[in-house]
Structure 1
Amino acid sequence: MFKHWKNITIYKLSREADLTDLEDKKKMILFTPCGSQDMAKFGFVSPFGDNSEVIAMHGNGFILVEAKRETKILPPPVIQRAIQEKIEKLEQEQARKLKKTEKDSLKDEVLHSLLPRAFSKFSVIQAIYDGSTKRIYINASARQAEDMLALMRKSLGSLPVVPLSVENPIELTLTDWVRDGSAPEVVY
């Protein structure tokens, strides 16, 4: 269910928006596993696990949502080796060198033949909307957080957010504290 958050990206709503639709399963883009020819899939899942129908946890003005991404893993050396084997086989059968356009078309063919056997990597991103501060907290890197926001926008239709910024960067504040010996006794 709830994981320890190691990386947090914070956004603030730039104007009023209704995020209560996050609780409406019919409007949400739900996660479905990759098909045999899909490279990746991304969608919302229940924060309570696979056996739960609840798509968002709501309480005390907070809404928790969770999204899952499945990505097929095809290491480049495996793809290159399969392409090279296919090129060598065709060149022997046809007794000629293949043109560049023919070699390029083989890459797609090889990719489609390898995809059904590829391993899948799964990752989960959690986001919490705080109704009192109008902030969205996402447990992910900036790129993954943008993916989560894009998924929320697709589901909600609109999500006007801006990254949270501070007046003084934390690096400068901490440096000043150390240099001047002026650190406060209690840091919240």
Structure 2
Amino acid sequence: MWFKNLRIYRLNDSVKHTPEELNEALAQFEFTPCGNLEPVKYGWTQPLGRDGSEYVHAANGYIMICMKRQEKVLPGAIVKETLDEKVAEIAEREARSVGRAEKQSLKEEIIFSLMPAALVKSSYDFAYIDTKNQLLVVDTSSANRAEELLSALREAIGTLKTVPLTPVNTPRAVLTDWLTGGEIPADIEVGEECELTSLEDGRSVKFKHQDLWIDEVSRHIDSGLQVAKLVVNWKDSIECIIDDQFCFKRIRYGNEITEQADNHSGGSAADQFDIEFSVMALELSAFISAMSEAFGGVDDNA
């Protein structure tokens, strides 16, 4: 349940639903499996999985929700092989070549015919609403998956005005400054991994498991590259990658944090989920606040 990625959105208009009202709204759009010819389906499911019956899990002003996504899996190699056979068959039978448009039409027919027997793959996207700070936090590294969840939530509750949480100072400028002698907040320690890129010509250089205060990093920055990703550690509680979109990825929690939840273990699955969610949400709230401050505060005009 511990979030591994954070895409954070400001709620420009308060979510006025109580947890009970939100539960009823999401229940109207509960997940149903893909039909024979449906390539993808998504809908809301219980954050607690089989151990829960509600579509929300609320604790201390935080409301957890979960969207289930199911898609049909058609291996490209099988589609290509079937298409090649049909094209060869037409060429031999009718003594002619098959054009691009006809190939595309044949491909669509093949996908349509194979869809009912295709395997299905399910995935889950968790998010929580921070009602105190009016934030929506999504556990995904994909902007598209986050937008898919936001769209589904808008559909369920009628309206949802959100914008990505954007700091006053651009992440590229701040992260680059940190690696070129700028002041780093006391609670933040730079790790041993970064990616430097150029917005102008697409150049990219990665450093892993390496001291980043070496001349080679400085030379690349002097040549016009900027820091697009950087591993940081905050108070020995959270280690992650910060990227140039102010997203946080590959999150690892310190032992002190996870032990807070472990020390209260021993109850039901629902009790353990509640404890982990409460500990995580409180820690992430402090982390998000600290990161926002480190980047100059939140840009209210974004």
Q: Structure 2 CA distance, aligned partners of 1:102 and 1:182?
A: 61
Q: Structure 1 CA distance, aligned partners of 2:9 and 2:26?
A: 25
Q: Structure 1 CA distance, aligned partners of 2:70 and 2:160?
A: 24
Tell me the equivalent position of 1:12. 10
**Offset at 1:74?**
1.6
**Offset at 1:105?**
3.3
Indicate whether 1:149 and 2:147 are aligned: no
Query: What secondary structure, in the 3-state scheme, does the structure 2 residue paired with 1:179 have?
Result: coil
Between 1:16-25 and 1:73-82, the stretch displaced more is 16-25
- Kindly provide the amino acid, as one letter, of the partner of residue 18 in structure 1: K
CA contact (8 A) 2:9 2:164 kept: yes
Query: What secondary structure, in the 3-state scheme, does the structure 2 residue paired with 1:123 have?
Result: strand
Q: Structure 1 CA distance, aligned partners of 2:48 and 2:67?
A: 12
**Offset at 1:175?**
3.6
Higher relative contact order (CA 8 A, sep 6+): 1
- Kindly provide the amino acid, as one letter, of the partner of residue 145 in structure 1: A
Q: TM-score, normalised by structure 1?
A: 0.84
Q: Which aligned runs of 4 or more in structure 1 are off by greater than 6 angstroms? A: none
Tell me the equivalent position of 2:270. none
- Kindly provide the amino acid, as one letter, of the partner of residue 7 in structure 1: N
Give runs of aligned pairs for residues 89-168 of structure 1, distance below 5 A.
89-90=89-90, 92=92, 94-97=93-96, 100=99, 103-140=103-140, 141-168=142-169
Tell me the equivalent position of 2:34. 34
Deviations along 1:157-185, one digit per CA (max 9) or x if unpaired, are 11011111111234433443443363343
- Kindly provide the amino acid, as one letter, of the partner of residue 108 in structure 1: E
Q: TM-score, normalised by structure 2?
A: 0.55
Q: Which ranges of structure 1 fall in alignment gaps of 5 or more residues?
A: none
CA contact (8 A) 1:22 1:28 kept: no
Q: Give the RMSD, CA atoms, in angstroms.
A: 2.4
Tell me the equivalent position of 1:54. 54
Q: Which ranges of structure 2 fall in alignment gaps of 5 or more residues?
A: 189-289, 291-302
CA contact (8 A) 2:44 2:68 kept: yes
Q: Structure 2 CA distance, aligned partners of 1:50 and 1:156?
A: 24
